[in-house]
A and B are shown apart, each in its own frame.
Chain A
Amino acid sequence: MIRAVLVMNTQGKPRLAKFYEFLPVEKQQEIIRNVFAVLCSRPEHVSNFVDAESFFGPDARLVYKHFATLYFVFIFDGSENELAMLDLIQVFVETLDKCFRNVCELDVVFNYSKMHTILDEIIFGGQVLETSSTEVMKAVEEISKLEAASSAINLVPKSVSSWRSR
């Protein structure tokens, strides 16, 4: 089971934090800080797999991938295959790229709710739901169309429509 998905930038600011089990807010923030401490000290060409037991509890492993200014981190337990998790990060990022066209960190910052939608199509309750980025894109597009359709009828503040237009 996947226990958490974190996206943070190279300065340690969280861009997405989703925990699949109950943790109080302080613990969540502590975990984010610890993960950043581990990641920023890792040199370029070492393994992408890290043991996460010291800050996440027993049977926790962590896999991360570094893209430009972002770290994508998946924390999971022994029942998941590590290489499959690495591949899942790739699926997630590819889907983001398809969705935002040449995605960059700012897209992630200003559209975090869309990121959540995409992530919820891929991982559900800690289990992998879908591994094909085309399928995920289809579902996300349907949801965006639905939002666009209903919002056209209601009066919505401008900020929401600009967020939606992506």
Chain B
Amino acid sequence: PNLRFSNSDLDHSIHPLRNSIRLNFPANTIIMNPFSSGTRLRDMIRAIRACKTAAEERGVVRKECAAIRASINENDQDYRHRNMAKLMFIHMLGYPTHFGQMECLKLIASPGFPEKRIGYLGLMLLLDERQEVLMLVTNSLKQDLNHTNQYIVGLALCALGNICSAEMARDLAPVVERLLQFRDPNIRKKWKSTSLRAFKKLTSSKAGCIALCSNVSCHVTVREKHHGVLITGVQLCTDLCKTSTEALEHIRKIRCTKDANEGCKPVTADAQAVQRHRATILECVKDLDASIRKRALELVYVLANETNVKPLVKELVDYLEVSYLEELVHIRKLIKPLCFGVF
């Protein structure tokens, strides 16, 4: 499609009354409505854009920050939403906005969807894992993860997936796990993917719920057809195996059955099942989708041990003859260490 970006200039289309007021002030004056406690978001953005020098911009931002700080001190409910939007804009320009962190928390705790949304957005942008303030959010997150409205749950999951500390991970792991099982089918694929991602963060913070996560990831990869979820699931398994030997053993012991269309499932080291599951994984290695193939190969590599390496390598070598060109290098790289490492 031909994407035309038109440079329409909204500044020309302003209300005639304000037009005449503007004539008396320089372009970057913020027009104050005497009946409101602050400027509109658009006006602030316009004022900042109208600044010709960095010093002017700093002045405008300083004035706005002072107004926002005053509004926060007065505990002003009505404009909290707007103040947060302004803070995010100011943050993007590079100015310090730490005084707004408590406002995020208050917005997240409010019952309305728009307030929650901007609170979570602010949380993701203004805060990061290392802030102690994050601890205070845990309770709100827990409530929102259990909310009946699926979009609010989605907001909470999204925030969790993007910034998550070890303590939060520990507290919220059981809730997130429960969510994987009970989601409404319409958006289940998306929320499963997001919660898988959240889990990845949890395990990378070494929250100690590794067995839990392995169960969950196997559970999901068995049933899941959606591409994005699958990749995340497999990635999660692989990372788990790489970081922890106990997870590796756990996944090895779990039996899984293959899904007809696409699926890459963890393998068990049980003697009887080895044949069947090897075939399964190797079928995944031949899957149509390149990223699933890549992840399947990585999983094969990680799961190899003394007992199964010989047949695995043999099958990989056979596959080499028919595989796509770009994977030849990849497979060769895997086979070599497999042979040398294990023998």
- Docked complex Cα distance between A29 and B95 (Å): 10
Closest chain B CB from A15 CB (angstroms): 8
Give the contacts of A119-134 with B (CB-CB under 8 A).
120, 124-125, 127-130
Give the contacts of A22-50 with B (CB-CB under 8 A).
22, 25, 28-29, 32
Q: Are B197 and A146 in contact (CB under 8 A)?
A: no
What are the residues of chain A within 8 A of B158 when measuring CB–CB? 120, 124
Segment touching A, from B79-87, B244-252, B304-312? B79-87
B112 at interface by CB-CB < 8 Å: yes
Q: Are B5 and A25 in contact (CB under 8 A)?
A: no
B162 contact from A16, A106, A125, Cβ within 8 A: A125
Closest chain A CB from B93 CB (angstroms): 7
B42 contact from A103, A110, A130, A146, Cβ within 8 A: A110
Q: Are B114 and A124 in contact (CB under 8 A)?
A: no
Segment touching A, from B7-15, B20-28, B280-288, B315-323? B7-15
What are the residues of chain A within 8 A of B45 when measuring CB–CB? 109-110
- Docked complex Cα distance between A81 and B289 (Å): 13
- Docked complex Cα distance between A109 and B93 (Å): 12
B128 at interface by CB-CB < 8 Å: yes
B197 (CB) vs chain A CBs: closest residue: A125
- Docked complex Cα distance between A163 and B114 (Å): 12
Give the contacts of A121-160 with B (CB-CB under 8 A).
124-125, 127-130, 139, 142-143, 146-147, 150-151, 154-160
What are the residues of chain A within 8 A of B1 when measuring CB–CB? 94, 97
B120 (CB) vs chain A CBs: closest residue: A120
Q: Are B41 and A163 in contact (CB under 8 A)?
A: yes
B240 at interface by CB-CB < 8 Å: no
Closest chain A CB from B146 CB (angstroms): 18
- Docked complex Cα distance between A15 and B49 (Å): 12
Number of interface residues of A (CB under 8 A): 55
- Docked complex Cα distance between A102 and B41 (Å): 22
B62 at interface by CB-CB < 8 Å: no
Closest chain B CB from A121 CB (angstroms): 8
- Docked complex Cα distance between A12 and B291 (Å): 34
A106 contact from B9, B161, B231, Cβ within 8 A: B9
A70 at interface by CB-CB < 8 Å: yes
B92 at interface by CB-CB < 8 Å: yes
Closest chain B CB from A24 CB (angstroms): 9
B8 contact from A18, A106, A125, Cβ within 8 A: A106
- Docked complex Cα distance between A136 and B306 (Å): 46
Give the contacts of A73-128 with B (CB-CB under 8 A).
81, 93-94, 97, 102-106, 109-110, 112-113, 116-117, 120, 124-125, 127-128
What are the residues of chain B within 8 A of A165 when measuring CB–CB? none
B118 at interface by CB-CB < 8 Å: yes
B301 at interface by CB-CB < 8 Å: no
Closest chain B CB from A80 CB (angstroms): 9
Can you name 9 A-B residue pairings with CB atoms under 8 Å?
A13-B93, A25-B96, A104-B5, A109-B45, A112-B89, A127-B228, A154-B112, A157-B36, A159-B40
Using a CB–CB distance below 8 Å, which chain A residues touch chain B?
13-18, 20, 22, 25, 28-29, 32, 67-70, 81, 93-94, 97, 102-106, 109-110, 112-113, 116-117, 120, 124-125, 127-130, 139, 142-143, 146-147, 150-151, 154-160, 162-164
Using a CB–CB distance below 8 Å, which chain B residues touch chain A?
1, 3-10, 36, 40-42, 45, 49, 78-79, 81-82, 85, 88-89, 91-94, 96, 112-114, 117-118, 121, 125, 128-130, 151, 158, 161-162, 187, 190, 193-194, 197-198, 200-201, 228, 231-232, 235, 290-291
